[in-house]
């Protein structure tokens, strides 16, 4: 029987991110994505002009109807939220639908490159931290890891020239392992012209290296988290899932930059989705 996962995230018309990326990736990996929008956007917020419709007042209907229809989820995967009240909704959703075999994956979307996203504040981030504590796996970028642990991003990056930089990142990540069974995949750790993704669990750390190409692209974090979600639901280890995600994204970026590109459009992953099908185990 096909496994299912609730995907709680925004839907952007342009940007190749969030639900647009998750639905395509999870489907090709043999997982049925059940989308629950947090917001509807004309395009992701990196574009100069965009419109966002907060979907908060409609989200309870999903819980109500899915309960009435006896919905079961093998996974619950959350991403971008449009307001603080949505964090409370997602926590309640997890309480209602999580069973003993349900995997909860939280992408704690809050910021990037050392800065909070404009729609977020400290109260929102504090709530997202509480949500992260309910997860089996979280997939923050380095900025979000710092927010979760109270570390200063700039102070962390000043250590990037040190031979002990990765040991320090491991120490920071350990602070975000909020319970013994939690695992973390951290993206966007930059050092010496390379980008590393780190995988952490109690007593173990692994860093996956890829070359840094061009500039930051829209949606790569969502692609990474979606591959993680699909992989673990297919009984792949987190380390192998992170390797698959890292390699896929690097390969697609190398192809994307062969032609003129706009970073807000995202990477041309659609042509390479077939490669993810082999990752099902």
pLDDT of residue 281: 47
pLDDT in tens, 157-181: 999 999 999 999 999 999 999 999 9
CA separation for the pair 138, 159 (Å, rounded): 24
pLDDT of residue 237: 95
pLDDT in tens, 122-162: 999 999 999 999 999 999 999 999 999 999 999 999 999 99
Please, which pLDDT band fits residue 76 given cuts at 50, 70 and 90?
Answer: very high
Please, which pLDDT band fits residue 280 given cuts at 50, 70 and 90?
Answer: very low
CB 73 within 8 A of CB 6: yes
pLDDT of residue 18: 96
Q: How far apart are the first and last CA of the chain?
A: 15
CB 227 within 8 A of CB 185: no
Could you tell me how many residues make up the chain?
281
Q: How confident is the prediction for the chain on average, in pLDDT?
A: 94
Beta bridge partners of 152: none
pLDDT of residue 203: 82
């Amino acid at each position: 029987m096909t496994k299912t996962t609730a995907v709680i995230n925004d839907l952007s018309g342009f940007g190749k991110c969030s639900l647009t990326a998750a639905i395509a990736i999870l489907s090709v990996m043999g997982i049925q994505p059940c989308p629950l929008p947090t917001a509807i956007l004309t395009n992701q917020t990196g574009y100069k002009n965009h419109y966002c419709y907060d979907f908060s007042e409609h989200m309870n209907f999903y819980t109500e109807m899915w309960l009435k229809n006896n919905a079961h989820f093998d996974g619950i995967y959350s991403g971008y939220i449009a307001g603080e009240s949505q964090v409370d909704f997602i926590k309640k959703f997890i309480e209602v639908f999580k069973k003993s075999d349900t995997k909860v994956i939280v992408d704690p979307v809050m910021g990037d490159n050392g800065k909070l996203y404009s729609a977020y504040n400290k109260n929102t981030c504090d709530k997202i931290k509480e949500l992260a504590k309910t997860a089996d796996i979280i997939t923050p970028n380095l900025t979000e890891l710092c927010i979760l642990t109270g570390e200063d991003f700039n102070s962390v990056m000043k250590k990037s020239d040190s031979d002990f930089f990765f040991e320090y990142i491991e120490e920071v990540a350990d602070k975000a392992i909020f319970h013994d069974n939690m695992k973390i995949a951290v993206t966007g750790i930059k050092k010496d012209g390379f980008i590393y993704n780190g995988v952490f669990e109690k007593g173990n750390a692994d860093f996956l290296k890829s070359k840094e190409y061009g500039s930051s692209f829209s949606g790569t974090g969502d692609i990474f988290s979606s591959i993680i979600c699909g992989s673990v639901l297919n009984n792949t280890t987190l380390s192998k899932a992170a390797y698959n995600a890292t390699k896929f994204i690097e390969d697609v970026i190398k192809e994307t930059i062969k032609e003129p590109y706009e970073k807000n459009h995202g990477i041309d992953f659609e042509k390479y989705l077939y490669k993810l099908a082999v990752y099902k185990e």
